[in-house]
Amino acid sequence: MTTHAWFPASPCGPGCLSGREPSVSRFLCWLRLTALVLVVLLSLLLIVFLPVLGRRGREGVARAVFRSVLLSVGVRLRRLGGDGLAARGRGVLVVNNHTSWLDIVAVNAVRPMRALAKSDIASWPVLGWLVSAAGSVYVHREGLRSLPATVAELAEVLRAGSMVNVTPEGTTWCGLTHGRFRPAVFQAAIDGGVPVLPVALRFRLRDGSPTTAPAFVGDETIVDSVLRVARLRGLVLEVHVLDELAPGRTTDRRELAALAESAVDTALPAPRPPAPHPASRTFPSRESYVPVARVPH
């Protein structure tokens, strides 16, 4: 696959995963995986009926499925902050830091919505099907030429009154730090005349200590990441819903991106640099996007 100079990259890799988190028994791990498979099968049946359900019916089904995914792999969801995700009848650009495949699951477990997602997510089981059924906008990250059209489509969707979830870092980080919020997608909020709602996601263990175990980093597959999550004991995913950035707050997309990033920063623990990838003794800073380890989105 060819990439361009602005392709999102993260220094996070296998070295960021401590591997010292408490784990469940092998039996419970397989029980969780079995439950996840059952959720997958049930979702296949439910997706067939989504077109005939009303909006509230589709939201109810999607919320139940996403919550069932979290429950099946032993993740406890904790919501903090305001009720910004309850907004109805108006467009909102919802932006969050990006650590794991669990991010989109958590946001939609609180409030199902459309998403701006990498094109190959459409082929993922359950998550991809639900994201597609929700009318998500897909972006081809490999080509810059498609970006203006994607931003224009996103602005139209927001203008029409939809909530859309975006991860403006463009790739996953380990969770102890995160990348810069790239400004391109914020132009859609400006053009659509809608607010931006920052959401901070934090993974921790039951005792309150942060963990990088759920991070989807390096060259691992989605199956590898799911297995690691299923083995964890006491994983908590906190969803911090922050204050909206009102339309007209700024007409500069870079400033708007910086405001959203700052809001997320204040809700997360002080960032720490990720451990260097085993293949290298050094890694780029948060300000740098030199490709060290390309990670899935």
Buried/exposed code over 246-261 (b: 16+ C-beta within 10 A; e: otherwise): ebeebeebeebbbbbb
- At 135 the pLDDT is 64
Nearest partner of 71 among 229, 223, 239, judged by Cα:
229
Is pLDDT at 127 greater than 70 in this prediction? no
The mean pLDDT value of the chain amounts to: 80
Q: Examine residue 293 and state whether it is found in any structural domain, yes or no.
A: no
* Residue at 218 is within a domain: yes
Count of structural domains within the chain:
1
Residues 10-27 pLDDT 10s: 667 677 777 788 999 999
Does residue 53 sit within a domain? yes
Closest CA to 127 of 213, 270, 225: 225
Hey, what amino acid is at 250? T
Residues ≥6 apart with Cβ < 8 Å to 51? none
The structure tokens listed for 275 are 């451990």
pLDDT in tens, 59-94: 888 899 899 999 999 999 999 998 888 877 789 999
Question: Is residue 136 a part of any domain in this protein?
Answer: yes
pLDDT at position 131 over 70: no
Token code pair at residue 19: 């591997």
Strand order in the sheet with 196-205: 75-81, 235-241, 196-205, 92-96, 163-166, 114-118, 137-139
**Please, what's the b/e burial string for 47-82 (b: 16 or more CB within 10 A of its CB; e: otherwise)?**
beeeeeeeeeebbebbebbbbbbbbbbbbebeeebe
Is 187 among the domain residues?
A: yes
More confident call, 296 vs 102: 102
For 272-297, the DSSP string reads -PPPPPTT-S----TT----SB----
Answer yes or no: is 253 within a domain: yes
Helix H or strand E segment including 245: none
Does the pLDDT at position 275 exceed 60? no
Determine, yes or no, domain membership for 277. Answer: no
**Looking at 120-129, 145-154, 285-294, which range is the least confident one?**
285-294
Report pLDDT digits (tens) over 242-252.
999 999 888 89
Rounded mean pLDDT of 161-182? 85
pLDDT score of 56? 80
Query: Is the pLDDT score of 159 beyond 90?
Result: yes
The confidence band for 282, taking pLDDT boundaries of 50, 70 and 90, is: very low
Say which range, 43-47, 152-156, 214-218, 276-280, has the weakest mean pLDDT: 276-280
Is residue 224 included in any domain, yes or no? yes
**More confident call, 125 vs 62:** 62
Q: What's the pTM?
A: 0.82
Query: Which of the two residues, 194 and 276, has the higher pLDDT score?
Result: 194
DSSP bridge partners of 79: 239
4 has pLDDT over 70: no
**41-65: average pLDDT:** 81
Task: Tell me the residue range of the domain where 130 lies.
Answer: 14-267
| Residue from 51, 170, 168, 65 nearest 112 by CA | 65
